[in-house]
Amino acid sequence: MRYKLLGKSGLRVSELCLGTMTFGETWGWGASLDESEKIFRRFSEAGGNFIDTSCNYTEGTSETFLGEFLGANRDSFVVATKYTLTKTTSTDPNSGGNSRKNMMRSVESSLRRLRTDYLDILYLHVWDYMTPVDEVLRGLDDLVRQGKTAYIAVSDTPAYIVAQANMLAELRGWAAFIGLQAPYSLNRRDIERELLPMAKHWGMGVMPWGVIGGGVLTGKYDETDDESPKRYDPARMTVRERTRAIIDAVKAVSEETGHSRAQVAINWVRQQQHQAQIVPIIGARTVAQLEDNLGVLAWTLTDAQLQRLSEASAIDLGFPHDFTPGNPYIYGATYDLIDKRP
């Protein structure tokens, strides 16, 4: 495992991040306490120090497990958790969302479950489209000043909100976001339109989740005899024609390289460093799955293989990406706007 400075910070994180949404069986498809600990220990043995969780993962079980595993070695790990979401059974209107009230309550609860007095990174988990940006930023800055989190980051939030937040932080001397989480995979490349360029502009590290498409890219949902627990119900899955073409491309590269389809999908994301600083989040329900994921550290896709996979999964970036000097599309687009009547 190699290390890098995360975004515009001095924080050293491993080149892969361990996602712990699978820690706990509360949601019906996760790992037991014993298996979760094995996954955590194996990631640590491989040199991984970057751990990702959330206040709501498996209804808090993920943080509880992680707090037990960290133990006396807590300071050796970069622990990131999130606030925003809460139990769906809650009847308290302030128990979720981005408000300062929920932020402070969530952080105190997370600290107790994690058995620590500080977080390394606190994420805003999901933008709620209600809370003022300055309320969020001031609250997060207070937590940094109180020493309850060393850094702040943002997840699943529009680019314009993140940009506004970082500018507010810069103008007012508040802590700014050093990282961004968003879904990114061969079959989900839409963050290339706005989020990745924005993150690169602000010098933010990007932690993609869903890098194997929830197992879709590995062909997991095509295996009708596979009875293992799945995050999604196969009976309700519809794999689009475009996605099947991507799956076929992944399979072809997998056979060509002798590496698993999961490794092919992860490495494609891992090698998108020209888009922004990328630190993929890998998740596993078993140690065997983690071992396979860690295999990406030993090899990389060739330029030709990257190109084949990128072409198979290409999306239309649209305006303003296609509106550049010398791009033939400009002339066609401009012509379409001309009134052709005599």
Catalytic residues: 57
Find the farthest-apart pair of alpha carbons in the chain and give their distance in angstroms, rounded.
81
CA distances from 120 to 144, 258, 307 (A): 10, 38, 36
Tokens 């019906």 locate to: 28
- Whether the CB-CB separation of 17 and 50 falls below 8 Å is answered with yes
Q: Which helix (H) or strand (E) holds 309?
A: helix 303-312
Q: Pull the structure tokens for residue 159.
A: 């680019």
Closest CA to 142 of 113, 96, 170, 173: 173
CA distances from 286 to 72, 81, 270, 296 (A): 24, 22, 22, 17
Cis ω for the linkage preceding 132 (within 30 of 0): no
Tokens 């993140």 locate to: 162
Contacts of 288 (CB under 8 A, 6+ apart): none
Look up residue 266 and give its amino acid: I
CA distances from 338 to 80, 318, 320 (A): 53, 20, 20
Look up residue 21 and give its amino acid: M
Instruction: State how far the Cα of 295 lies from the Cα of 282, in Å rounded to an integer.
Output: 12
Q: Helix, strand, or coil here: 42?
A: helix
